[in-house]
Structure 1
Amino acid sequence: MLAASPALAADALTIVNPSALHDPSPNGYSTAVVVPGGARLAFVSGQGGQDATGALSPDFAAQVGQAYRNLRLALDALGAKPEHVAKLTVFVVDHDMSKLGVLTQAVTEMFGAALPAQTLVPVPKLAIDPMLFEVEAVVVLPRA
């Protein structure tokens, strides 16, 4: 049996969390997201925790918060909103279970109950040595 969110419009994403699988929503993601036919997609490059000046906090939670603010700015530039994000991939340097609370809080603050599909990839380092977190997104652009 599929548990899907109601479609709000013809271009709305449908969230699918099969009842036969563990509910992933407490961990800040959905099992799958269905993109409507004929949708235009945008791919947002990895957003790190740098502010507009390029400064990067050494604090993991601060970087995560800034990365999601940066993602929101990228969505705004596309004319999209968080509910248009179908898939996230997050990269975490030296991931351990203590970081999941920070990650789950950030994603639920941005997406609420409309959680996109998501994959977390632990990595030894990112493009810039002080970076601890990066998030990239697949976005279904709203119809004009």
Structure 2
Amino acid sequence: MPDDLIRRFNPPTVAPPVARYSHGTVHALGPGVKRLVCAGQVGIAPDGRIAEGLAAQVEQAWDNLLAVLAAENLGPEHIVKLTAFVADPSPDAVNVVREVRTRKLGQHAPSSTYLVVAGLASPALKFEVEAEAVGPA
């Protein structure tokens, strides 16, 4: 697909990717409408530090996701699909993830999937969230 149809970016407010990928990929859906696909965001601060503990990682991952959206002048209200990956099957983990998600999304309720996984890209990572958003071009 030609590069003029797809734009990839890495906002300076999010730690650079650790492999060959982009934090955000944008393409047009139609006149005046764009789709943003956000790579999975984890609890790594812009300085590269991994947040300690599940709650801090969930908070940082959401901050990163919202920063990718903001780089395209989009917000939580533009999210149409969320997928959360959690390396902790406990009810406490579910409660932490729900609390942060509710605070970050407010009343917005996009289609969502919550997956408990055996592990993420690094054993130090406990949470990852990815999203798709649609908004004005």
What corresponds to 2:47 in structure 1?
Answer: 53
Give the TM-score normalised by the residue count of structure 2. 0.73
Q: CA deviation at 1:58?
A: 2.9
CA–CA distance in structure 2, aligned partners of residues 129 and 52 of structure 1: 19
CA RMSD of aligned residues (A): 1.4
What corresponds to 1:126 in structure 2?
Answer: 120
Q: CA deviation at 1:111?
A: 1.1
- Which of 52, 68, 71 pairs up with 2:62? 68
CA–CA distance in structure 2, aligned partners of residues 95 and 70 of structure 1: 23
Indicate the SS of the match to 1:114.
coil
Indicate the SS of the match to 2:125.
coil
Q: Which residue identity lines up with residue 120 of structure 2 in the other structure?
A: L
What corresponds to 1:93 in structure 2?
Answer: 87
Q: CA deviation at 1:78?
A: 1.4
Q: Structure 1 residues 100, 94: CA separation in 2 closer, same or farther (over 3 Å shift)?
A: closer
Higher strand proportion, which one?
2
Runs (5+) with no aligned partner, structure 2? 1-28
Q: CA deviation at 1:42?
A: 1.2
CA–CA distance in structure 2, aligned partners of residues 114 and 79 of structure 1: 17
Give the TM-score normalised by the residue count of structure 1. 0.70
Q: Which runs of 4+ in 1 moved over 6 A?
A: none
Higher mean C-alpha displacement, 100-109 vs 83-92: 100-109
Q: Is the 8 A contact 1:86 1:139 kept in 2?
A: yes
CA–CA distance in structure 2, aligned partners of residues 57 and 66 of structure 1: 7
User: Number of residues paired by the alignment?
Assistant: 107
- Per-residue CA shift, 1:40-96, capped at 9, x if unaligned? 211100000000111112310000000000111101111101100011000000322
Q: CA deviation at 1:112?
A: 0.9
CA–CA distance in structure 2, aligned partners of residues 127 and 100 of structure 1: 20
Q: Is the 8 A contact 1:108 1:115 kept in 2?
A: no
What corresponds to 1:84 in structure 2?
Answer: 78
